[in-house]
Amino acid sequence: MSKNITSVLHETRSFGPSDEFRKKAKISSVEEYQKLYRQSLDEPDKFWGDIANELHWFKSWDKTVDWNEPFVKWFVGGKTNPSYNALDYQIEQGRGDKVAFLFEGEPGDSKEITYTEMLIKVSKLANALKYRGIAKGDRVAIYMPMIPEAVIAMLACARIGATHSVVFGGFSAQALADRINDAEAKAVITADGGYRRGGVLPLKPAVDEALKICSSVDTVIVVERANNPIDMRKGRDFWYHDLVNNASDYCPAEELDSEHPLFILYTSGSTGTPKGVLHTVGGYQTYTYLTNKYVFDQKEEDVFWCTADVGWVTGHSYIAYGPMFNGVTQVIYEGTPNTPHFGRFWELVEKYKVNIFYTAPTAIRAFMKWGNEHVEKFDLSSLRLLGTVGEPINPEAWIWYREMIGKNNCPIVDTWWQTETGGIMLTTLPGAHDAKPGSAGLPFFGVEAAIVNAQAEELEDNEGGFLVIKRPWPSMIRTVYGDDERYKQTYFGEIPHVYFAGDGARRDEDGYYWIMGRVDDVVNVSGHRLGTMEVESALVAHSLVAEAAVVSRPDSLTGEAIVAFVSLEGGKEGSDDLVKELRDHVTKEIGAIAKPAEIRFSDALPKTRSGKIMRRLLRSIASGEEVKGDISTLEDKSVVEKLLKQAKIQK
Ligand code: PRX
């Protein structure tokens, strides 16, 4: 963990909501925010109890929060079900005929699904899962394109109390197998394939490949989507349509304990294999409900579009759950933003009259690069609120987003959170706060954030340090699946008595937080988290690679890009063909998102005398910066000279 963090970004502009926005907003002044914020910290039982009661409970809880550091329980003794709250409870409130999803496939097919239709679809699949012997407490892997059945699968699992583990469709067979094995999933819900970038991305073949090394799975349910040829294994593989056609259309929701495991979602850390972040029912549902309501200022008539994939936590909290608990109408789009043309997203904003649009900075930078003409062709006047998530947004992209997409008329919420936090932790509230380009804003209700040094001492305003959370919140990670010790070490082991998950930040004199990025060995490529260790182990698994060190360098499009330094077995020389082979190899081991942008060969890597690779040096070399700081611990100084010389030649 780096010790000194210097903040370099000094942005002084700020933008408040229009009077019109403010007037209609759910929270419309700083004073109102402060009052509720104070209440959330001073009277957490009352605050969270009232919020939790805005959703349905089969049985109320005995205790609001039970904190036994680092383990937390919320709404202890209560019984509820997120699938009930997402569907039945919405229908009870008169939203049965309201559209839940406006789906648009990449080839242009589209359909609408109401809340009542969702309940029937979810019930049918839940009954099909039961028929296949899946019961409360079992784990189910979901490996899907961005189609409504992905959400249906999640809610069907939740309905019967099976814990879902969604694996992003871009991950490889190997990565899928690792996740299935870690969770010992009994079933996989997948599709033949999905439409992406103008072609078909096959999924079922990757499941077949993965299952060669997974013994826990005895059921595979396959949605027919892209009609690509696939194999179906008798007795194990079932067509989704066959199972649901035979299933009854109502399945009562299980009465789940508030701390029942709702889902596992794997994410990267600085060490070891990806961690299975575990979230439970009651706290997660309460927090995603509330954040969705206030951060996006959800109105009954709004059309909300979060462009994330359900394979990431954003797609869990702000597609499958939070908006459903608020009875929102959402757009789901299967494809990429540049297929079949560069204006595809804006075409959909116009078509579906989207009011609230939530995306990632990496996408915004791509839109900027593609050119304004693709935006200007479409009518974006329905938009009233914009959001970003996943990585720091550079002020230039923020301003472009405000001007080109928001037409200077939409507040922007920059939301900081993590897979582990379950929901948005830092943000501005759009009707209450001014936004500052590049700042994630202020703590959300119940979030006691601070900037500290390694001894947990709080730092002065504008001093860079570690961003920590000082008390538990409802949607906090409960544990690393199957590994309480790793949970404790990772999140509470480094800085005493606070939750710390790897980001550096500073807080300015107005209390706004400015995220400076990860301070551990996690890289953030296009808003997707990857551990450098994972990429390194993928590289060394190749027979020609002796050693590999992976670092990141800044990239104007993807935020960060992966640079791999590789030394080969037996002093062999690298070549362009080998670069390609290694990049393909990483794609096969992890997925295309982990493919190094650059591979540099070197006969040795810079190490300390105790044999540790000096990544700091490699980071400077990869970024083309001057190598500064103490290199006295370096074992062989000539290695650095060679790497620098090589870098010059490559330039
Ligand atoms: O470094 C922070 C960055 O993304 C990390 C969390 O990644 P993940 O668990 O994949 O979740 C991403 C979606 C919630 C954080 O540790 N990050 C996320 N949002 C922001 C951000 N960095 C700066 N600003 C943000 N708004």
Residue entry with tokens 């090589």: 646
Q: Indicate whether residue 323 lines ligand 1 (CB < 6 A).
A: no
Distance 389 CA to ligand 1 centre (A): 7
pLDDT for 42: 98
Q: Which two tokens stand for residue 209?
A: 């490949």
The Cα 430–Cα 302 span in angstroms is 15
Distance 525 CA to ligand 1 centre (A): 11
Model confidence at 2, in pLDDT bands (50, 70, 90)? very low
- DSSP code of residue 591: B
Mean pLDDT over residues 434-441, rounded? 96
Distance 515 CA to ligand 1 centre (A): 9
- For 598, residues 6+ apart whose C-beta sits below 8 A from its C-beta are 553, 561, 562, 563, 564, 622
Kindly tell me if the per-residue pLDDT of 617 is higher than 60: yes
Type of residue numbered 605: L
Looking at per-residue pLDDT, the higher value among 178 and 573 belongs to 178
Q: Whose CA is nearest to atom 3 of ligand 1?
A: 391
Kindly tell me if the per-residue pLDDT of 629 is higher than 50: yes
Model confidence at 9, in pLDDT bands (50, 70, 90)? low
Q: Is 67 exposed, middle or buried (0-12, 13-18, 19+ CB in 10 A)?
A: exposed
The hierarchical CATH code for the domain 86-254 is: 3.40.50.12780
pLDDT for 50: 98
Q: Indicate whether residue 518 lines ligand 1 (CB < 6 A).
A: yes
Supply the pTM of this predicted model: 0.94
Mean pLDDT over residues 172-191, rounded? 97
pLDDT for 446: 98
Q: What pLDDT, in 10s, does the model give residues 135-169?
A: 999 999 999 999 999 999 999 999 999 999 999 99
Looking at per-residue pLDDT, the higher value among 610 and 64 belongs to 64
Question: Is the bond into 70 cis (omega within 30 degrees of 0)?
Answer: yes
Mean pLDDT over residues 501-518, rounded? 94
* Domain map (residue ranges) of the chain: 86-254, 522-650
Mean pLDDT over residues 32-44, rounded? 98
Q: Indicate whether residue 419 lines ligand 1 (CB < 6 A).
A: yes
Q: What pLDDT, in 10s, does the model give residues 50-60?
A: 999 999 999 99
3-state secondary structure (DSSP) of residue 586? helix
Residue 481 in contact with residue 452, Cβ under 8 Å?
Answer: no
235 φ/ψ sector (left φ>0, alpha ψ -120 to 50, else beta): left
pLDDT for 6: 64
pLDDT for 315: 98
Ligand 1 pocket mutation pick from 287, 310, 418 by most atoms within 8 angstroms of CB: 418
pLDDT for 643: 85
Distance 610 CA to ligand 1 centre (A): 33
Q: Whose CA is nearest to atom 23 of ligand 1?
A: 392
Kindly tell me if the per-residue pLDDT of 271 is higher than 90: no
Kindly tell me if the per-residue pLDDT of 4 is higher than 60: no
Residue 216 in contact with residue 181, Cβ under 8 Å?
Answer: yes
Mean pLDDT over residues 484-509, rounded? 95
Q: Whose CA is nearest to atom 5 of ligand 1?
A: 418
Q: Whose CA is nearest to atom 11 of ligand 1?
A: 418
Q: Indicate whether residue 332 lines ligand 1 (CB < 6 A).
A: no
Average pLDDT over all residues of the chain: 94
Q: Indicate whether residue 390 lines ligand 1 (CB < 6 A).
A: yes
Q: Indicate whether residue 270 lines ligand 1 (CB < 6 A).
A: no
Residue 443 in contact with residue 417, Cβ under 8 Å?
Answer: no
Mean pLDDT over residues 557-581, rounded? 92
pLDDT for 3: 47
Give the ligand 1 atom nearest the CA of 388: 26
Return the minimum-mean-pLDDT range out of 451-465, 579-593, 629-643: 629-643
Return the minimum-mean-pLDDT range out of 261-275, 445-459, 499-513, 580-594: 261-275
Q: What pLDDT, in 10s, does the model give residues 361-400?
A: 999 999 999 999 999 999 999 999 999 999 999 999 999 9
pLDDT above 70: percentage of residues in the chain: 98
Q: Indicate whether residue 230 lines ligand 1 (CB < 6 A).
A: no
Kindly tell me if the per-residue pLDDT of 651 is higher than 50: no
Q: What pLDDT, in 10s, does the model give residues 329-353?
A: 999 999 999 999 999 999 999 999 9
DSSP assignment of 23-55 equals HH-SS-SHHHHHHHHHHHHHSHHHHHHHHHTTS
Compute φ and ψ for 219, nearest 5 degrees: -140, 130
Ligand 1 pocket mutation pick from 389, 428, 519 by most atoms within 8 angstroms of CB: 389
Return the minimum-mean-pLDDT range out of 35-39, 292-296, 420-424, 536-540: 536-540
Q: Indicate whether residue 389 lines ligand 1 (CB < 6 A).
A: yes
pLDDT for 612: 78
Give the ligand 1 atom nearest the CA of 393: 24
Q: Whose CA is nearest to atom 2 of ligand 1?
A: 391
CATH fold of the domain at 522-650: GMP Synthetase; Chain A, domain 3 (3.30.300)
DSSP assignment of 262-319 equals EEEEEE--SSSSPEEEEEEHHHHHHHHHHHHHHHTT--TT-EEEE---TTSHHHIIII
On the CB side of 602, how many CA atoms lie within 13 Å of its CA?
A: 27
Kindly tell me if the per-residue pLDDT of 18 is higher than 60: yes
Signed CA dihedral, 418, 422, 424, 425: sign only: negative
3-state secondary structure (DSSP) of residue 518? strand
pLDDT for 650: 54
pLDDT for 648: 57
